[in-house]
Amino acid sequence: MLDQTPKEIIARSGICINPLKTCQPVGALYAALGVHRCMPHSHGSQGCVSYHRTLLTRHFKEPAVASSSSFTEGASVFGGGANLKQSVKNIFDVYDPDIIAVHTTCLSETIGDDLNSFILELDIPDGKRVVHCNTPSYVGSHVTGYGQMVAGFIKYLAAKEEKSDSIGVFPGFVNPGDIRELKKLFKLMGVPAMILPDPSDTLDGPMTGSYQMFPEGGTSLAEIRAFGGVKRVLALGLLASKEPALVIKSRCGVETDLLPQPMGIANTDAFLKRLMDLTGHTVPKELEYERGRLIDLLLDANQYYYQKKVAIFGDPDTVAGLLSIALELGLFPSYVVTGTPGDAFVSQCQEILQEYDVPPAKVKAGSDFFELHQWIKNEPVDLLIGTSYGKQIAKAEDIPMVRAGFPILDRYGHAHHPLIGYEGTRRLAELVAGALMDRYDRDCPDEDLDVVM
Is pLDDT above 60 for 1? no
Structure confidence at residue 179 (pLDDT): 98
Given a contact cutoff of 8 angstroms between Cβ atoms, the answer to whether 221 and 157 are in contact is yes
Structure confidence at residue 208 (pLDDT): 87
pLDDT in tens, 399-419: 999 999 999 999 999 999 999
CATH architecture of the domain with residue range 294-448 = 3-Layer(aba) Sandwich (3.40)
Structure confidence at residue 372 (pLDDT): 97
Element (H, E) at 121: none
CATH architecture of the domain with residue range 167-279 = 3-Layer(aba) Sandwich (3.40)
- Which regions of 27-124 does DSSP assign to beta strands (E)? 38-43, 67-68, 99-104
Strand order from edge to edge, sheet including 256-259: 193-195, 167-170, 232-236, 256-259
pLDDT in tens, 327-356: 999 999 999 999 999 999 999 999 999 999
Confidence tier at 74 by pLDDT (50, 70, 90) = confident
Least Cα distance to 89 among 67, 71, 111 occurs for 67
Integer-rounded Cα radius of gyration of the chain: 22
Average pLDDT of the chain?
Answer: 95
Q: What is the pTM of this model?
A: 0.95
Given a contact cutoff of 8 angstroms between Cβ atoms, the answer to whether 374 and 6 are in contact is yes
CATH assignment of 24-157, among 3.40.50.920, 3.20.20.100, 3.40.50.1980, 3.40.50.1820: 3.40.50.1980
pLDDT in tens, 384-395: 999 999 999 999
Structure confidence at residue 205 (pLDDT): 84
Percentage above 70 pLDDT, the chain? 99
Reduced to 3 states, what is the DSSP secondary structure of residue 86? helix
CB atoms within 10 A of CB 34: 26
- Which regions of 121-246 does DSSP assign to beta strands (E)? 129-133, 167-170, 193-195, 232-236
Q: Which residue ranges does the chain devote to CATH 3.40.50.1980?
A: 24-157, 167-279, 294-448
Is pLDDT above 70 for 2? no
Helices (H) and strands (E) in the chain, counts: 18, 13
Structure confidence at residue 4 (pLDDT): 80
Element (H, E) at 120: helix 115-120
Is pLDDT above 60 for 184? yes
pLDDT in tens, 141-155: 999 999 999 999 999
Q: Which residues pair with 219 in a beta bridge?
A: 35
Give 382 or 3, the one with higher predicted confidence: 382
Confidence tier at 224 by pLDDT (50, 70, 90) = very high
Structure confidence at residue 73 (pLDDT): 83
In whole angstroms, what is the distance from residue 320 CA to residue 318 CA?
A: 5
pLDDT in tens, 245-277: 999 999 999 999 999 999 999 999 999 999 999
